[in-house]
A and B are shown apart, each in its own frame.
Chain A
Amino acid sequence: MANYYDVDDIITEEENISVIFQKAVNGVGIDPGSEKNCVEQGSKVELPFWLASELCLRNTVVAQVPACFDEKTRLEVQADPACVDLRSRSPYFYEFGCKVAPVTGDRTIGFLLFSAFKSRYKEVLTKAHTAANVANPKFLSRLTKEEVHLYEAAQSSMAAFKKWRKGGPRLQPASVLRMKRKSTN
């Protein structure tokens, strides 16, 4: 269960997913295509995930697999996972996938996510430690949020170690001491 206040989690659920209404719904304006204030049975609407999953639970809609997990992405991931630009698919590719899979009932998504992460992880690992403090925007722009976090975790700890090894002032004066002494009267 993700943290309720987790901003990344909230943004993940904002992602749109297309659903097909199984029932006619009255009094809602969620279908931009219809003129009336209702949704007809069988109409296809894009809804944010948080709404779609709730409606799914009530059997009102049937969710479809979002475009970022389509056949094309799968083929690309199979061919060379490290070079696929997953961020443009969805910045929260893995988190979104984990949420989408149970709703759509597509069991192959799990495997797609897992195999993609497994091979991209190696790329992140080698890049993070070897290309020390050389910012590689092209590489970073392909990563999803989670992978960027991983990359930064590795880089920052390595940078902290290098800074420590190089030395410098070991003792820092406390901020209290740095303040100028004021006259007491």
Chain B
Amino acid sequence: MAAQSCSQFHVFSAEEIEFIAEDELIEIVPNMRMDQLNLIRGDFGPFLPQIATEVPLWLAVALKKRGKCRIRPPEWMSVEKLTQVLEAERDSEKEFQVLPFHYVEISRLLFDHAQDDIPDIYMVRSLMEDIRDVRFHKVETSLETFDGRTSAVQIRSLSAMEVNIVRPFVARALQAFQKLGNMVPETDSVPSTRPQGTDKAARGRRILRGR
């Protein structure tokens, strides 16, 4: 609790995460002819009508706004895939399904700018919401299992936005737990067979992981 300022833990805002997500690649089908683009991160194009090509999301959105292309929604954004994911999320208590790291941001950008390119957009949108809610609820329940011996958390395939939401809270809570945990005299919960140094490290790293 040495650090009382809240802003310190808030590393990214949602907008910044979205900005990072715009670097993800996505497939578009241009309807114009354009030469290759030589960007710092690589070359994209050449763009030929009706020939699909991969570009960063920001470029796709920019072209889409000018009516120069159609965006092909990624494979995981189909109704069947999302229904599967949602069911799997609901079935397993701890485990998170594998979705792209930026799925929240990508889906929002596509919903905003490329509604006409996504088949069954209403269905997809509501599935997306459900998946996000289920996952966030799971994150919360796993945070509830914290006890004083937790000093690191590992949850597999959590997405950027989900991590970002809980980051300030978790960082603070872990700090408080660590401080108060140090106050408690050593109990017999730790097998004292290890040498002193590694013992302390191992005790601190009770890892919370989805199995």
Contacts and interface: CB of A to CB of B under 8 A. Distances in A.
B172 interface: yes
Contacts, number: 105
A6 B172 CA distance: 16
Nearest to B144: A122
Interface in B57-106: none
Contacts of A165: 14, 108
A128 interface: yes
A156 B167 CA distance: 11
Interface size class of B (residues with CB under 8 A): 35 or more
Given A94-B1, A121-B146, A150-B169, A114 B181 contact: yes
B1 A154 contact: no
A98 interface: yes
B165 A8 contact: no
Interface of B is mostly: helix
B44 interface: no
Interface in A112-156: 113-114, 117-118, 121-122, 125-126, 128-129, 146, 149-150, 152-154, 156
15 contacts: A94-B179, A98-B183, A110-B183, A110-B184, A111-B184, A114-B180, A117-B176, A121-B146, A121-B173, A125-B143, A129-B140, A146-B1, A154-B166, A158-B165, A160-B14
Interface of A: 1-3, 6-9, 94-95, 97-98, 101, 107, 109-111, 113-114, 117-118, 121-122, 125-126, 128-129, 146, 149-150, 152-154, 156-158, 160-161, 163-165, 167, 170
